[in-house]
Structure 1
Amino acid sequence: MEKHPSGLRIRNVSKKYANGVQALRNVSLDIPPGMYGLLGPNGAGKSTLMRTLATLQEPDAGSIYLGHIDVLNHKEAVRQTLGYLPQEFGVYPKASAQELLDYFAILKGVTDRAVRQATTEALLRQTNLWDKRKQKLGGFSGGMRQRFGVAVALLGNPRLLIVDEPTAGLDPVERVRFLNLLSELGENSVVILSTHIVADVAELCTHMAIINQGQILLEAQPLEAVAALRGRIWRTLTDKHALPALEQAHQVVSAKLLSGRTLVHVYSPDRPGPGFEAVEPDLEDVYFSSLAGCFVPVNQPLQAVSVAL
């Protein structure tokens, strides 16, 4: 029935909003247990898919299975084993972390006081918030709030954990601490990391998909996707005014300022011309190549790719 009996199987899911925006177009994915990255720009359809998986909205078409649970038709069964950290979530600023987590544990059905106390302590320690357990949530930093959100999402040992844009707005130290926490969670559960930050996926995920305009452009293992680009990414330093001509002549993957000049990455099976040098690709090249339409067609084996430019 599915590749991963304990994983998530998404087939032909579509969603169109009342304002005419087609948020999802026949999305199909096989998501195994472990850390899975859903990568795409803002407005690509990531949050729509996450809300659908979290049973917060209905798709227009398609099917979703978590193991043998029909997600769309048995929402309560999914919610019993779901942890969800949305992009934005509210807290009671005058409540302490320990008080509010205890309250959420009651809502989750942990009625035994001793069990609840042990559960909340374990989660606050796991998220490195035990020393701050009596501090009011209104005084938490962005990273501390995100870690508290993970603690709430982990109540009940969920089989499916969804985190939507979790590192947006975090400073570098908080981001590293938060990513280290997430990396520990993917051993027994399906953990979906939805983000537009390529480095988050590169550092954490063993499987990934790239989505844009509601369509899956690529589904792959990051290391294999990077390997498939080897020998096809070239770079050159140029002046900003020369960029339009380069874009006309070559398949430009990305361009960014470097020491007052523009560093351009180009996709090409062969050296594009004088002044270009081969560069070892990374996941950022995979991402931008996919968005530019010059990488692996979805659902084709990486080894058998032939790209027509």
Structure 2
Amino acid sequence: MEKHPRGLTIRNVSKTYANGVQALHNVSLDIPPGMYGLLGPNGAGKSTLMRTLATLQEPDEGQLFLGDIDVVNQKEAVRQTLGYLPQEFGVYPKASAEELLDYFAVLKGITNRAVRKETTEALLNQTNLWDKRKQKLGGFSGGMRQRFGVAVALLGSPQLLIVDEPTAGLDPAERVRFLNLLSELGENSVVILSTHIVADVAELCTNMAIINQGQILLEASPLEAVAALKGLIWRKLTDKQALPALEQEHQIISAKLLSGRILVHVYGPDRPGNGFEPAEPDLEDVYFSAMTGCFGPAREQAKAELIGL
């Protein structure tokens, strides 16, 4: 019987560690089948949420469902249909890619030798590692190791695939190869891409959420979120010494070096003043607008608090 992709439902999930750090605060998300980006800085709570979804830890509060499977109370059922590529994972450096993938296939329950051979060959081809199948994993580049990690995660045709910070440390060519591989995976399952790199989400994901300090700041499709900022982003090239004055006068969402000067992006409905010109918004503007409270639920909450005053 053909498997039908099942979405993820996350309701009011919170997690506080023993040291008092609240990693997740009342997180609720609806994640449909396809590529879903979870975007936020390091320490935002992304890995905590990924580990919870992967049944490696339990939340203090809240519920998580993969279709009709209760993630907290039916861990084994989740694991049967889960693929997980953590931010860091170990390999046996003296084993070849073919040998280790075969070993992991046995652990996944693929005990028939012919089926296992067919499965591992298909995955090594899919991840573009077939020509390197005899090579020892200790000699793999960072991108090749990540692709091998995806091959392991795809054993058993998972309905939920979690990929945590997959492109960190990859060179540009390896990153492109890896993103091309990921783009093919969202057709038959829920694929969650957890990252702090805005471009990864912009290039791959049809839906996303922005998280910071354990709270969801924005949940939207990247295209809709960018469209919602049209006419609200302004830019200006300035010098470093002029930046403090601009920060006093305007709602600056980002400032970055460009050809020795600083390119400032400002959020607002009206032209900020002399020297500013309209900027075509992109997902980076969405990210920084959400992080600074200009855009999304944080902005609405701030407005409500002001009205309350």
How far 1:67 sits from its partner (Å)? 0.3
Paired residues in the alignment total 302
Query: Could you say what secondary structure the match of 2:42 adopts?
Result: coil
How far 1:241 sits from its partner (Å)? 1.3
- CA–CA distance in 2 between the matches of 1:105 and 1:266? 52
- CA–CA distance in 1 between the matches of 2:289 and 2:243? 17
TM-score by length of 1: 0.95
Name the structure 1 match of 2:284: 284
Q: Deviations over 1:85-119 (max 9, x none)?
A: 00000000000000000000000000000000000
- CA–CA distance in 1 between the matches of 2:77 and 2:228? 40
- CA–CA distance in 1 between the matches of 2:236 and 2:46? 33
Name the structure 1 match of 2:266: 266
TM-score by length of 2: 0.95
Query: Could you say what secondary structure the match of 1:135 adopts?
Result: coil
Name the structure 1 match of 2:153: 153
Query: Is the contact between residue 108 and residue 156 of structure 1 (CA under 8 Å) also seen in structure 2?
Result: yes
- CA–CA distance in 2 between the matches of 1:260 and 1:113? 60
Amino acid paired to 1:263: L
How far 1:5 sits from its partner (Å)? 8.1
Query: Is the contact between residue 219 and residue 299 of structure 1 (CA under 8 Å) also seen in structure 2?
Result: no
Work out whether 1:100 is the aligned partner of 2:89: no
5+ unaligned residues in a row in structure 1: which ranges?
none
Q: Please list, as runs of the form range in 1=range in 2, the aligned pairs for 1:73-84 lying within 5 A after superposition.
A: 73-84=73-84
Name the structure 2 match of 1:118: 118
Cα RMSD over matched residues?
1.9
Work out whether 1:247 is the aligned partner of 2:219: no
How far 1:275 sits from its partner (Å)? 0.6
Work out whether 1:140 is the aligned partner of 2:153: no
Structure 1: which 4+ aligned runs deviate by more than 4 Å?
none
Name the structure 1 match of 2:162: 162
Query: Is the contact between residue 5 and residue 33 of structure 2 (CA under 8 Å) also seen in structure 1?
Result: no
Name the structure 2 match of 1:226: 226
- CA–CA distance in 2 between the matches of 1:5 and 1:142? 30
- CA–CA distance in 1 between the matches of 2:174 and 2:96? 20
Q: Deviations over 1:217-257 (max 9, x none)?
A: 00000000000000000000111111111111111010001
Amino acid paired to 2:275: G
How far 1:299 sits from its partner (Å)? 11
Query: Structure 1 216/78 Cα, relative in aligned 2: closer, same or farther at 3 Å?
Result: same
Query: Could you say what secondary structure the match of 2:297 adopts?
Result: coil
- CA–CA distance in 2 between the matches of 1:39 and 1:241? 32
Work out whether 1:24 is the aligned partner of 2:28: no
- CA–CA distance in 2 between the matches of 1:67 and 1:46? 21
- CA–CA distance in 1 between the matches of 2:177 and 2:5? 32
Name the structure 2 match of 1:203: 203
- CA–CA distance in 2 between the matches of 1:95 and 1:266? 52
Query: Structure 1 209/159 Cα, relative in aligned 2: closer, same or farther at 3 Å?
Result: same
Query: Is the contact between residue 219 and residue 298 of structure 1 (CA under 8 Å) also seen in structure 2?
Result: no
Q: Please list, as runs of the form range in 1=range in 2, the aligned pairs for 1:160-199 lying within 5 A after superposition.
A: 160-199=160-199
